[in-house]
C-alpha cells in the first residue's frame, strides 16, 4: 500500500553558501587573517574487508557487528579575534548488525551449506547522510588553555535511517526463510528495490566543542566533541514500513535459494522527518620529556569506544609518532610539523585485506585533537 504523494518542490539554500563564499573572499581582502583546513576520513568494517564491501557487500561476511564511515573536508578563515568562518562537506554512514546474522548472511551470499533447522535473529540499524554547509566558530586562548567551538548549518542528501528486525530459518542446507519487520527511510531502496524514488532534501545543524589544557611543558590534555545537539530536518522523505518474507523466493541453477522479498505494508513519502545524529567524542593526553613523548588517545562514536597508545620522537622540530589501536588492530603513523599535521592508520598493509583505515591532513586546524 502506498501513501498519498503530496510532495511540493522546495528550494535549497545554495545561495546562502554562495553568500558565505563571497563573504570569505571579501574578508581575506579586507583584513588580517589566517587560513585553516582539514581533510579527515575513517572507515571501519568489522564483518569483511572494506574493498569487499565496496564491490559486493556481504559476500565476505564472517564475523563482527559494525561498519561505519565518517569523512569531512573543511576550509576556512580565522581572524585575530578568534572568529572562524568555514565551508565544509561531510559524509556519515553507521551500520550495526548482530553477529549471528552477519555470519549467516555471509554463508548465504557465498552459497555455503547451511545448518538445517537453525534459527538466527536479525537486528539491523542504519543511519547516514551526506551534507555541505557552513560553520561559524570562535577560538579563545588564555594562558595554558584554549577553548574553541562552533555552530554548523548544512544541506543534506542521501538519507538512510531505520531498522530491520526479524529471523532467518535454515530449512535445508541450501534453502532458508526470512521474516522481518522493516521501518526505514532512504534515498535508494536497497531492500525492496522500490522504483523511481525521489531523494529527500534536508537542513542539518550541529555544535562542536574542543579544549586544550597545557599545565606544563611536559603535559598536554585535549578533548573534543562533534555533532552535539545535532539533527537533520528532511522534506519529502521516502519510507517503507512493512513485513517482509521469502515466500516469493526463487532458486538458482545450483539449487540455492535467492532472496526476492514479498512485502506487506506501506511505502510513500513523509512530509517532514527529523533524523537524530549521535555525538562523537575524542580525547588525547601527551606526556613529553625532552624529545620523547608518551601518547594516549581515545575515541567514542556510534556507541563504540577505541583507545590508542603510542610514542613520539622529535627530529629537527618535527614530531614523529607511532600509535597502536587494539580495538581495530590498527597501527598509526603521525607527523606534526607545527601548522601541518598528518595522520594515517590501518590494520593491514594490503588494501584487499584492510578493515580499518583512517587518514587525516590538517593545516592550522585547532579543533578536535
User: Per-residue pLDDT for 67 more than 70?
Assistant: yes
- The whole-number average pLDDT for the span 204-219 is 95
Name the maximum alpha-carbon separation found in the chain: 74
- Mind listing the pLDDT tens digit for each residue in 8-24? 545 445 555 555 555 55
The reported pLDDT for the residue numbered 23 is: 53
User: Per-residue pLDDT for 1 more than 50?
Assistant: no
- The whole-number average pLDDT for the span 239-257 is 81
- The whole-number average pLDDT for the span 103-118 is 93
- Mind listing the pLDDT tens digit for each residue in 298-316? 999 999 999 999 999 999 8
| Percent of the chain with pLDDT strictly greater than 90 | 77
The reported pLDDT for the residue numbered 22 is: 54
- Mind listing the pLDDT tens digit for each residue in 145-169? 999 999 999 999 999 999 999 999 9
- The whole-number average pLDDT for the span 177-198 is 93
The reported pLDDT for the residue numbered 11 is: 46
Q: Where are the beta strands (DSSP E) in the chain?
A: 34-45, 66-78, 83-97, 119-142, 145-170, 176-186, 201-216, 219-245, 250-251, 257-258, 262-276, 280-289, 292-301, 304-315, 318-325, 330-337, 340-346, 356-363
- The whole-number average pLDDT for the span 293-299 is 96
Contact assessment for residue 33 and residue 78, using Cβ atoms and an 8 Å cutoff: yes
Q: Whole-structure pTM over 0.85, yes or no? A: yes
Amino acid at each position: 500500500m502506498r501513501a498519498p504523494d503530496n510532495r511540493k518542490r522546495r528550494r535549497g539554500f545554495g545561495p546562502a553558501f554562495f553568500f558565505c563564499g563571497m563573504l570569505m573572499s571579501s574578508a581575506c581582502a579586507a583584513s588580517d587573517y589566517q587560513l585553516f583546513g582539514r581533510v579527515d576520513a575513517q572507515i571501519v568494517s568489522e564483518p569483511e574487508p572494506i574493498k569487499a564491501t565496496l564491490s559486493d557487500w556481504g559476500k565476505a561476511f564472517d564475523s563482527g557487528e559494525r561498519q561505519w564511515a565518517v569523512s569531512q573536508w573543511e576550509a576556512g578563515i580565522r581572524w585575530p579575534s578568534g572568529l572562524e568562518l568555514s565551508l565544509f562537506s561531510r559524509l556519515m554512514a553507521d551500520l550495526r548488525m548482530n553477529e549471528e546474522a552477519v555470519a549467516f548472511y555471509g554463508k548465504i551470499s557465498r552459497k555455503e551449506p547451511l545448518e538445517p533447522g537453525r534459527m538466527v535473529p536479525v537486528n539491523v540499524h542504519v543511519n547516514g547522510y551526506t551534507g555541505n554547509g557552513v560553520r561559524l566558530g570562535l577560538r579563545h586562548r588564555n594562558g595554558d588553555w584554549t577553548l574553541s567551538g562552533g555552530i554548523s548549518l548544512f544541506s543534506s542528501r542521501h538519507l538512510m535511517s531505520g531498522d530491520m528486525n526479524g529471523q532467518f530459518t535454515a530449512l535445508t542446507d541450501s534453502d532458508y526463510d526470512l521474516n522481518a519487520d522493516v521501518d526505514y527511510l532512504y534515498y535508494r531502496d536497497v531492500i525492496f528495490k522500490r522504483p523511481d524514488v525521489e531523494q529527500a532534501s534536508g537542513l542539518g545543524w550541529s555544535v562542536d566543542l574542543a579544549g586544550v589544557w597545557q599545565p606544563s611543558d611536559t603535559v598536554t590534555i585535549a578533548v573534543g566533541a562533534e555533532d552535539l545537539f545535532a539533527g537533520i530536518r528532511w522534506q519529502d522523505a521516502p519510507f517503507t514500513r512493512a513485513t517482509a518474507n521469502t515466500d516469493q523466493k526463487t532458486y538458482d541453477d545450483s539449487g540455492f535459494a535467492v532472496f526476492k522479498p514479498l512485502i506487506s505494508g506501506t511505502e510513500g513519502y513523509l512530509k517532514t522527518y527529523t533524523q537524530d545524529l549521535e555525538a562523537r567524542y575524542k580525547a588525547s593526553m601527551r606526556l613529553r620529556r625532552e624529545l620523547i613523548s608518551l601518547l594516549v588517545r581515545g575515541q567514542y562514536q556510534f556507541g563504540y569506544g577505541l583507545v590508542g597508545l603510542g610514542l613520539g620522537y622529535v627530529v629537527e622540530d618535527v614530531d614523529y609518532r607511532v600509535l597502536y589501536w587494539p580495538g581495530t588492530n590498527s597501527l598509526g603513523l603521525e607527523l606534526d610539523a607545527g601548522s601541518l599535521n598528518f595522520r594515517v592508520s590501518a590494520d593491514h598493509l594490503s588494501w584487499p585485506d584492510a578493515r580499518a583505515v583512517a587518514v587525516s591532513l590538517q593545516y592550522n586546524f585547532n579543533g578536535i585533537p
